[in-house]
Amino acid sequence: MRRSVDRSAFTLIELLVVIAIIAILIGLLLPAVQKVRESAARMSCQNNLKQVALASHNYASALGVLPSGYLADKPASDNPPFTGQYIGCLFLTLPFMEQDNLYRQCTQGTPSDWTSITTVGPGYWNFAAWRYKGTVVKSLICPSDNPLSATDLMFDATFTYPATGGWGVSVSYWGSPKDYPFGPTNYSGVAGYSGTGTGNDRYSGLMCDRSKISLEQATGGDGLSTTLMFGEYLGDQDNINRRYAAGWMGWGGLPTAWGLPTGNDSGWWHFNSRHTGIVQFAMGDGSVRGIRKGITSGNDMNTFIFMSGWHDSKVVDPSSISN
């Protein structure tokens, strides 16, 4: 009888078939893996926004009012000499988001009332804060983005008060991140339609320059559940490699007058994100909503603007522009 001969390897055709099957499986699984990864990043970003909003509530519980969007000079200026602390709402909420050690380091040597809304004090660059400005706070960065890759400029302020003749820009450009390293952030307070907060702006938001709004006032206004408090921010277009970014030390409240465009129409003066189709916002009550990208006009734009104001008497249904 003849003995059978055992094979110890695949034939070339069998090997090619196996490779082709594996390639097809990878092609089928990759989009699913990417979708799961983005979903996880979106949920993590959502949690970051929620924590910032809750930290603002805790700030209000301790001090009676929500943190100001920004402590700058009034009216704000692009040109020196700068007056005002130039610290933003994210900095002010650090002690209430488990970053109290960083806050203490940054405020070493400052006057006792330096973070007071009513005090116009020296800029943070005069104190220890300048040494700690580059600290990376993970909870202030969206996992879908990489603001640390910024190559050109770091923003360290915002435009929350109008200059003569219209909306002003109070933005400090500190140069290359390599020269002036700032801890970046993907989140910004909502300053309302024009971001003035002067008392005459019907559509002013919760986070304006030196705003002093209590939770009780906001609740008695348009209500916390329908008012935007914080939103996602890139500092650049949402479809290109990062050039610009914002630093948590000084970034404050962003106006909503220019809507939520996407792609090439999106820029550093817009709320925007790396998430597909949405920009996430924390509402005044701490809940988080995804607002559709591409809102620039019409009823959707009106709804977005009305949601950004806390006392405009325009209570709208957020679900009409939410995903």
Question: If pLDDT is split at 50, 70 and 90, which confidence band does 162 have?
Answer: very low
What is the structure's pLDDT at 74?
Answer: 59
- The yes-or-no verdict on residue 302 having pLDDT over 60 is yes
**Which pLDDT does position 158 carry in this prediction?**
44
pLDDT number for residue 154 = 62
pTM above 0.85, yes or no: no
Please give the average per-residue pLDDT across 191-204, as a whole number: 77
Spell out the domain ranges in the chain: 47-320
Q: Does residue 160 or residue 22 have the better pLDDT?
A: 22
pLDDT at 199 over 80: no
Q: What is the pLDDT of residue 169?
A: 39
Mean of all residue pLDDT scores within the chain: 84
Q: Give how far the C-alpha of residue 100 lies from the chain's centroid of Cα atoms, to the nearest Å.
A: 20
Q: What is the mean pLDDT of residues 278-290?
A: 96
The confidence score (pLDDT) of residue 177 equals 55
91-118 pLDDT per residue, tens:
999 999 999 999 999 999 999 999 999 8
Confidence category of residue 273, pLDDT binned at 50, 70, 90: very high
The model's confidence at residue 283, banded by pLDDT at 50, 70 and 90, is very high
Return the sign of the alpha-carbon dihedral for residues 153, 157, 162, 167: positive
Q: What is the pLDDT of residue 148?
A: 85
- Per-residue model confidence (pLDDT) at position 269: 86
pLDDT of residue 27: 77
